[in-house]
Structure 1
Amino acid sequence: MNIMLIRLANEADIKDLIAIDSVASQEPQRVLQIHAWCTESTCFLAEKDGEIMGYGVLNYHFFGCGFIEMLMVGECYRRCGTGLNLLNALKSKCQHPKLFTTTNQSNFAMQRLLLNSGFIKSGQIENLDEDDPELVFFIPIPQ
């Protein structure tokens, strides 16, 4: 049995991260973000047998607290533990006692994943996406 590895992404991984990102092919801005996240050392990826399955971005731009800016799992790796493994790794790497993330109200799969991994709802932000509020989630991180 081969184990999923979570590691810091680097510039050599950018092409593979773009390939599994379901938004990158339609939004050139996402490609630029992936480049930035990799060069800023805020992007962690999940891989198994050398194949990249997903990635998550952890930074501290949300009022100085830990913030998961992005969690992306490749289409064919969804609902098999990749997202949960990434979330757990990001929680373990967080250097602040508070960790937040957000997702659209319409993204039921992500909401379920967050709740299953221990996050609690912590409010919402209106007017980012028309008629689809951004839900805020929080989890305390033992220091």
Structure 2
Amino acid sequence: MTLIRQATMQDANAICRIDAMVLGNTGRAQELREAVAAGHCYVASLDDGAVVGFVIMNQSFFKQSYIPYLIVHPHHQSKGIGQDLMLHMEAVCTTEKLFTSTNLSNKRMLRLCQRLHYVQSGMIDNLDPGDPEVFYCKKIRKRAKAIASPVQAI
């Protein structure tokens, strides 16, 4: 069973190890630690407490919720952990829309976005040479309009 919870600084080393394993370097370690400290990071763990993946969500994308990173340990990929993390982010999302992006070459993430009914919202070239960034959006909830109560004159 996958357990998802907000990351603590005690998770930071595991998060950085998993990221380095997937990325191939430790270049994002400081950024990841800052996301944990800011409360923007959630981890997926197994029954034994071992962290097997993480996701970061913030409001850095035009003041909308945005998932810049969804990373699952290579030995635990294709087991639904990424989907569990995405669904959890949808549940805790505080904005009307949730955005994410991935490289066109990341077929697993592209399929996950499609499976979860995210809508492609555009593509940006020149971030990674020869591998465009594809952006997705999902409407999470409709914001309730404030209902004005009638004012009675006295």
Place the TM-score, normalised by the shorter chain, in its bin: over 0.9
Provide the C-alpha distance between the structure 2 equivalents of 1:34 and 1:98, rounded to a whole number of angstroms: 23
1:26-65 residue pairs with structure 2 within 5 A? Answer: 26=25, 28-49=26-47, 50-65=49-64
Counterpart amino acid of 1:130?
P
> Contact conserved, 1:23 with 1:30, CA < 8 A, in 2?
no
Provide the C-alpha distance between the structure 2 equivalents of 1:100 and 1:20, rounded to a whole number of angstroms: 23
Provide the C-alpha distance between the structure 1 equivalents of 2:80 and 2:22, rounded to a whole number of angstroms: 21
Rg (Cα) greater in structure: 2
Provide the C-alpha distance between the structure 1 equivalents of 2:117 and 2:28, rounded to a whole number of angstroms: 28
CA gap of 1:38–1:101, structure 2 versus 1, over 3 A, is: same
What are structure 1's unaligned runs of at least 5 residues? Answer: none
CA gap of 1:72–1:53, structure 2 versus 1, over 3 A, is: same
Provide the C-alpha distance between the structure 2 equivalents of 1:119 and 1:133, rounded to a whole number of angstroms: 18
Provide the C-alpha distance between the structure 2 equivalents of 1:100 and 1:111, rounded to a whole number of angstroms: 13
Q: CA deviation at 1:24?
A: 5.7
Provide the C-alpha distance between the structure 1 equivalents of 2:32 and 2:135, rounded to a whole number of angstroms: 22
CA RMSD of aligned residues (A): 1.2
Provide the C-alpha distance between the structure 2 equivalents of 1:73 and 1:118, rounded to a whole number of angstroms: 20
The normalised TM-score by structure 1 is 0.93
Provide the C-alpha distance between the structure 2 equivalents of 1:137 and 1:25, rounded to a whole number of angstroms: 25
> Contact conserved, 2:120 with 2:134, CA < 8 A, in 1?
yes
CA gap of 1:79–1:55, structure 2 versus 1, over 3 A, is: same
Provide the C-alpha distance between the structure 1 equivalents of 2:35 and 2:22, rounded to a whole number of angstroms: 15
Summarize deviations over 1:68-94 as a string: whole Å, max 9, x none. 011000001100010000000011111
How many residues end up aligned between the 2 structures? 140
Q: CA deviation at 1:25?
A: 5.1
Provide the C-alpha distance between the structure 1 equivalents of 2:76 and 2:22, rounded to a whole number of angstroms: 16
Aligned to 2:149: none
What are structure 2's unaligned runs of at least 5 residues? Answer: 143-154
> Contact conserved, 2:7 with 2:42, CA < 8 A, in 1?
yes
1:66-85 residue pairs with structure 2 within 5 A? Answer: 66-85=65-84
